[in-house]
Structure 1
Amino acid sequence: MNPSEPEADAPARTELAVWGDPIGHSRSPALHSTAYGLLGLDWHYGRRRVDERSFGDALSGLDDSWRGLSLTMPLKEVAHARADEHDRHAALTGAVNTLLLGSTLRGFNTDVGGIVDAFAHAGVTRIDRARILGAGSTAASALVALHDLGATRVDVRARRPEAAGRLREIASALGIALSVQGFEHAASDVDATVATLPSGTVLDTDVVTPLAAVGGALFEAAYAPWPSALAAQWPGANVISGFEMLLYQAVRQIRIFRYGSQEHLLPDEDVIVAAMRSRAMED
């Protein structure tokens, strides 16, 4: 055998990656690689451009060296359809952003917990009344996160209220009193607002001003560029960047890839989170 070739029984390097389209902007490789280095794991985490059409073939082409995948848009729904098992948050939202590979394909949604952790990091641990801006897939995760934070009443504002069917189903399953309206309707006081509008969305000042006046703390899912147009118009200091969700959902993914559960804390997790945050800020 050529001495430069690996021995036949040498263990393959453990592979992980984030898939999506587009994917070149993703900070996930930096976040995950930092954590695996501190954990002493020889795991390689990369990125790959995969769209909905190519997802099935790409997944089938993975060998036994692959441990897990992070999924971003537009793959969360197709990943949910392919998973054999779903955690509670994935089942409620119909979205999977984490696949743990093996004989059973296990699907998780860590976006929900990432939003909860982002609020907690900002000192918000309890929410009763909330508002969501937008009615897409991120809004579904936000609704479940708000429920987990204690919300019993949620007001959804959307350009197309008829697109909130999934949110109505989730609210019914969780016992949340949900109202869905256009942006032009009068707003009541809430403890927190979660903005799930596409990055770069600019709302008219006459829409933002009344919502912000009674909107409580703002969690803005968008984080690049920062501050977003909405965050720049929001009064007060309690404005939370979507980067916090990105960071904490990644921590939960790492728990899953390491232990099979997003509730199993990493050793010295505070140190790991701080290093991940610092590494992402360098990019």
Structure 2
Amino acid sequence: MASSNEARRAAVLGSPIAHSLSPVLHRAAYAELGLTHWTYDRFEVDEARLPAFVEQLDRTWAGLSLTMPLKRAVIPLLDSISETASSVEAVNTVVLTEDGRRVGDNTDIPGMVAALRERGVEKTDSAAVLGAGATASSALAALSGICTGPVTAYVRSRERGDEMRGWGDRLGVDVRICDWDEAERALHAPLVVATTPAGATDALADAVPDRPGTLFDVLYEPWPTGLAAAWEARKGAVIGGLDLLVHQAALQVEQMTGRAPAPLAAMRQAGEKALAAR
């Protein structure tokens, strides 16, 4: 159990990192939990600088949050990783234990599941995934527990399609591949997960059906995306990137501080306020 008067450090690492909302969310949690001597910062760290940064961590450090491009690069630097992280070969959370071990986990996957559950999505008979990057593999891992039928991935290249099919085989998900040119078909799925960069799905906004299902768009800035705005205009349910960010950060706070449950409402409020100020 974390003590409020014990100085502890945590931070988010990545490149680029200036846009990260993680400090806002974690600091809000510390304030709500009374952890007045805890600090959470951000550091611009790329793959080349990561080993030296990890090596200098002392006993004042409680943990790290990792974003791109470090989620796979960190794995060789750790003493162990969870089954969840291993399933997608991606670590977004490192906890420094009392005996000095570095333990990796992935809170993106349970964070996605929690964000979906919060909006009433606990099971679906099929789903569509837009994109095929690192976030798409986490989406497949999340869907492996809630989707009872096929997941169709819409990708831009055969290589990406092969990767997604490989992840599906590994995760026990029936993945079917379609070309990105057919992405409008994805919008008729009961659950659509958009994992693409900003602007990539804007051209699909006019194709949103009259009675859409649920859209989970992992972006939080800019928000709403063109697709999310069109989805909401047609009365479809929308889960945004801030929902994912808050849920995965809450799990990180619980692991790093030993305090549970994390103050989800205070973290979300802080994130919303920070985004509104940008």
Q: Secondary structure at the match of 1:164?
A: helix
Task: Identify the residue that residue 171 of structure 2 maps to in structure 1.
Answer: 174
Task: Identify the residue that residue 277 of structure 1 maps to in structure 2.
Answer: 268
- Residues 214 and 237 from structure 1, CA distance in 2 versus in 1: closer, same or farther, beyond 3 angstroms? closer
CA distance in 1, matches of 2:80, 2:177: 31
CA distance in 2, matches of 1:152, 1:175: 11
The residue type equivalent to 1:68 in the other structure is: G
Answer whether contact 2:88 2:138 (CA < 8 A) is retained: yes
2:18 pairs, out of 21, 24, 39, with 24
1:186-265 maps to which residues of 2 (within 5 A)?
187=185, 189-205=188-204, 216-234=213-231, 235-259=234-258
CA RMSD of aligned residues (A): 2.1
CA distance in 2, matches of 1:89, 1:38: 28
TM-score (norm 2): 0.87
Structure 1 runs of 4+ aligned residues shifted over 4 Å read 208-215
Task: Identify the residue that residue 128 of structure 2 maps to in structure 1.
Answer: 131
- Cα deviation, residue 161, structure 1: 3.4
CA distance in 2, matches of 1:60, 1:68: 13
Task: Identify the residue that residue 115 of structure 2 maps to in structure 1.
Answer: 118
2:47 pairs, out of 48, 52, 65, with 52
- Residues 213 and 111 from structure 1, CA distance in 2 versus in 1: closer, same or farther, beyond 3 angstroms? farther
TM-score (norm 1): 0.85
CA distance in 1, matches of 2:6, 2:12: 19
Answer whether contact 2:217 2:238 (CA < 8 A) is retained: yes
Q: Secondary structure at the match of 2:16?
A: coil
Q: Secondary structure at the match of 2:49?
A: helix
Q: Secondary structure at the match of 1:77?
A: coil
Task: Identify the residue that residue 92 of structure 1 maps to in structure 2.
Answer: 87
- Residues 214 and 177 from structure 1, CA distance in 2 versus in 1: closer, same or farther, beyond 3 angstroms? farther
Answer whether contact 1:131 1:215 (CA < 8 A) is retained: no
Task: Identify the residue that residue 101 of structure 2 maps to in structure 1.
Answer: 104
The residue type equivalent to 1:139 in the other structure is: A
CA distance in 2, matches of 1:89, 1:214: 34
- Cα deviation, residue 213, structure 1: 6.3
Q: Secondary structure at the match of 1:106?
A: strand
- Residues 158 and 212 from structure 1, CA distance in 2 versus in 1: closer, same or farther, beyond 3 angstroms? farther
- Cα deviation, residue 20, structure 1: 0.7
Task: Identify the residue that residue 39 of structure 1 maps to in structure 2.
Answer: 33
Deviations 1:150-207 (A, max 9, x none): 34310000112322344323311332211111122373752200000012324434xx
